[in-house]
Chains A and B, each alone.
Chain A
């Protein structure tokens, strides 16, 4: 039975340094390092740096956007407050104008009503006066006619006038 491992163990020790193994380790590691330095680490480190840069840029732009949004919000709020003030002023002015217009309208109406009332009163009075005058005339004419028939005589115009005046006076007293 061939047992190469155990056969060589009697001479070997863990602290033996085999020059060939040492040389192999150096050569293998240097080859690995050269290949890794050429094909691995530049890519990885570049990727990490680009990712870092991207994160930083994104954070910066997010911060910038936040600042812009904040200033825009402040601006909008300021404009909104201004618009509210203006709207308030406009409403107050409109109310005052409406109030003034209503007041004017009411005073006009009142005045017109008063004028119409006065005119109507004047008309009524005039009509009343005319009616009374006409009534007096009719009454006097009628009275003269009646009286003429009763007395069967003509009454002169002076008499008629006297009678009329007296009658009117009596009528005035009775009214």
Chain B
């Protein structure tokens, strides 16, 4: 049995691990080069290359192509185009209004980056590398250089949430000014409620991005833990009974269930990327200068 694959704890499959051969490189007592870091870099590279290719195909071609230059070629480019149009017109525009074009690149980058991280996590790259290493070399070492779901690492999701936090707050300062930002912390409540409102709103400022981080992390961990548990049933049955027939039967059911859950996970991969992006847009929108609010406030005064 391969020790990497045969771990009896499903959580082990989700935890970040050092890249094979770099275990001795540490920083602050922790591995300096981990597989999730490699996955992040690979995800960013894949996302950039795919989006760059799509951008070339979505942009209008040369005049010599005639009316065909207005067509987007390639299915992946068409999917990206449809997603982009939907996000812009149906999701971000209603929330951000005239600020849409300003934040569109950030929000779309966030969505596609998280999406690619989530989808790459669906492919068991680490396990494939270990198995391939065992087949091609007789080494007893488990060789794996990247793999795992980067977004199931709390450090990664917190990192993304911190970026969103700064984007939200910088926009708030620019849009509302210091006074408006401070006023926002009162929640618009009367002055005597300030001792209650201020701490709540102040904490809310940090809780909102924290909730983003925890939501994405928890969803990814939960799904992959479930997949790991399902695929480990066969091994557990074999350990307990040593009966190949029983193990095979249980494994067959486990694989079918894992396939079904994988479809659900694929949906969750899209959904969580969307939610992270959408809630970031909502939080940015909450910190925007609203003309109608101002007008209403003036009218009531």
Check: B40 CB closer than 8 A to any chain A CB.
Answer: yes
Which A residues, 12 to 71, have Cβ-Cβ distances below 8 Å to chain B?
12, 14-26, 28-33, 35-37, 39-48, 50-51, 54
- A21 contacts across to B, CB distance below 8 A: 16, 34, 36-37, 153, 155-156, 159
- Chain B 159-171 interface mask (CB, 8 Å, partner A; 1/0): 1101100000000
Residues B59 and A43 in contact, CB atoms below 8 Å apart = yes
Which B residues, 12 to 40, have Cβ-Cβ distances below 8 Å to chain A?
12, 14-18, 20, 23, 27-28, 30-32, 34, 36-37, 40
Residues B52 and A40 in contact, CB atoms below 8 Å apart = yes
- The distance in angstroms between the C-alpha atoms of A50 and B59, with both chains bound, is 8
Check: A6 CB closer than 8 A to any chain B CB.
Answer: yes
Least CB distance from A35 to B in Å reads: 6
- The distance in angstroms between the C-alpha atoms of A39 and B9, with both chains bound, is 43
Check: B290 CB closer than 8 A to any chain A CB.
Answer: no
Residues B56 and A43 in contact, CB atoms below 8 Å apart = yes
- The distance in angstroms between the C-alpha atoms of A47 and B23, with both chains bound, is 47
Choose from B23, B112, B159 the contact partner of A4 (Cβ within 8 Å). Answer: B23
Residues B106 and A37 in contact, CB atoms below 8 Å apart = yes
Choose from A1, A17, A24 the contact partner of B37 (Cβ within 8 Å). Answer: A24
Categorize the interface residue count of chain B: 35 or more
Residues B60 and A9 in contact, CB atoms below 8 Å apart = no
Residues B59 and A46 in contact, CB atoms below 8 Å apart = yes
Check: A8 CB closer than 8 A to any chain B CB.
Answer: yes
Known A-B contacts A1-B3, A37-B109, A41-B105; A24 and B40 likewise in contact (beta carbons under 8 Å): yes
Nearest CB to that of A39 among chain B residues? B52
Q: Is the interface of B mostly helix, strand, loop or mixed?
A: helix
Check: B279 CB closer than 8 A to any chain A CB.
Answer: no
Residues B44 and A32 in contact, CB atoms below 8 Å apart = yes
Known A-B contacts A5-B17, A18-B155, A39-B55; A26 and B221 likewise in contact (beta carbons under 8 Å): no
On chain A, the number of residues with a Cβ less than 8 Å from chain B's Cβ atoms is 44
Choose from A5, A16, A41, A44 the contact partner of B7 (Cβ within 8 Å). Answer: A5
- The distance in angstroms between the C-alpha atoms of A32 and B41, with both chains bound, is 9
- A33 contacts across to B, CB distance below 8 A: 105-106, 109-110, 113
- The distance in angstroms between the C-alpha atoms of A14 and B151, with both chains bound, is 11
Choose from B4, B34, B44, B101 the contact partner of A28 (Cβ within 8 Å). Answer: B44
Residues A25 and B150 in contact, CB atoms below 8 Å apart = yes
Check: A2 CB closer than 8 A to any chain B CB.
Answer: yes
- B70 contacts across to A, CB distance below 8 A: 51, 54
Check: B84 CB closer than 8 A to any chain A CB.
Answer: yes
Least CB distance from B232 to A in Å reads: 14
Which B residues, 89 to 117, have Cβ-Cβ distances below 8 Å to chain A?
101, 104-106, 108-110, 112-113
- The distance in angstroms between the C-alpha atoms of A2 and B16, with both chains bound, is 17
Residues B37 and A29 in contact, CB atoms below 8 Å apart = no
Residues B3 and A3 in contact, CB atoms below 8 Å apart = yes
Check: B140 CB closer than 8 A to any chain A CB.
Answer: yes
Residues A41 and B108 in contact, CB atoms below 8 Å apart = yes
Residues A2 and B44 in contact, CB atoms below 8 Å apart = no
Binding site for B on A (CB under 8 A): 1-6, 8-9, 12, 14-26, 28-33, 35-37, 39-48, 50-51, 54
Known: A6-B4, A8-B18. 16 other contacts (CB 8 A): A2-B140, A4-B17, A5-B4, A9-B15, A18-B34, A18-B155, A32-B113, A33-B110, A36-B48, A39-B48, A40-B48, A40-B55, A41-B55, A43-B55, A44-B59, A46-B59
Listed A/B pairs (16) with beta-carbon separation below 8 Å: A3-B4, A5-B7, A5-B12, A6-B4, A14-B152, A14-B221, A19-B28, A20-B155, A21-B16, A22-B156, A25-B157, A28-B41, A32-B113, A33-B113, A48-B84, A48-B85
